[in-house]
Amino acid sequence: MKKESTSVTIFKGGKEDIPEMLQEVTRLIKKIKGNLPETPKITNELSGHGKIAEIETLDGLIKAASTIKAKERAYNDIAKDITPFGLKTPTFALNGHSAKQWIDYIKTTAILVGNKEKLKKLNDVKVILERNLSDQDKFKNDMALFNSILHD
């Protein structure tokens, strides 16, 4: 699978280009984040790993995911052995969440962890660009935000 680049040269040289540059930086941030939720879906701790949102390395996230998969596999193996014939085997859940929910959340967290430096740089550039917007452009952005709040 070909990795699509998110690096781009956006500076064009003039203050009049700031709104366009800000739009491009915002687009790149959204492209990296995709449809990630702003707040964690799972706030429980995973035994031995802590809260998923607080894991700062890809290695740590892989270990957390492998813990979930191993626990699910062990649960399902034992459940087959001890569930009486004719009864439905209970579905694996850990701290109120299915293995799929844990793994999906770990995958989305991995996107943030893997792109932490790039996102920090883009957010720093975004702050600088927003600070240098003209009053008219700031007002235009505020009105767009106002409309999105009312229409969500």
The 3-state secondary structure of 41-67 reads CCCCEECCCEEHHHCCCHHHHHHHHHH
Q: Which residues are paired to 45 by β-bridges?
A: 51
Q: Which structural domain range is residue 67 located in?
A: 17-136
CA separation for the pair 23, 118 (Å, rounded): 17
CA separation for the pair 96, 122 (Å, rounded): 36
* Residue 72 maps to a domain: yes
Tokens of 31: 């492209």
pLDDT of residue 106: 93
CA separation for the pair 52, 36 (Å, rounded): 14
* Residue 64 maps to a domain: yes
- The predicted-structure confidence for 63-103, as pLDDT tens digits, reads as follows 999 999 999 999 999 999 999 999 999 999 999 999 999 99
- The predicted-structure confidence for 2-46, as pLDDT tens digits, reads as follows 455 555 555 566 778 888 999 999 999 999 988 776 666 788 889
User: Helix 18-33 crosses helix 116-131 at what angle (to 10 degrees)?
Assistant: 150
pTM listed for this prediction: 0.67
pLDDT of residue 102: 93
* Residue 96 maps to a domain: yes
* Residue 8 maps to a domain: no
- The predicted-structure confidence for 90-145, as pLDDT tens digits, reads as follows 999 999 999 999 999 999 899 989 999 999 999 999 999 998 888 888 888 888 88
* Residue 10 maps to a domain: no
CA separation for the pair 141, 53 (Å, rounded): 31
Specify whether the CB–CB gap between 25 and 122 falls below 8 A.
yes
> 97: burial class by Cβ within 10 Å (0-12, 13-18, 19+)?
middle
Contacts of 103 (CB under 8 A, 6+ apart): 65, 68, 69
If one counts the domains in the chain, the total is 1
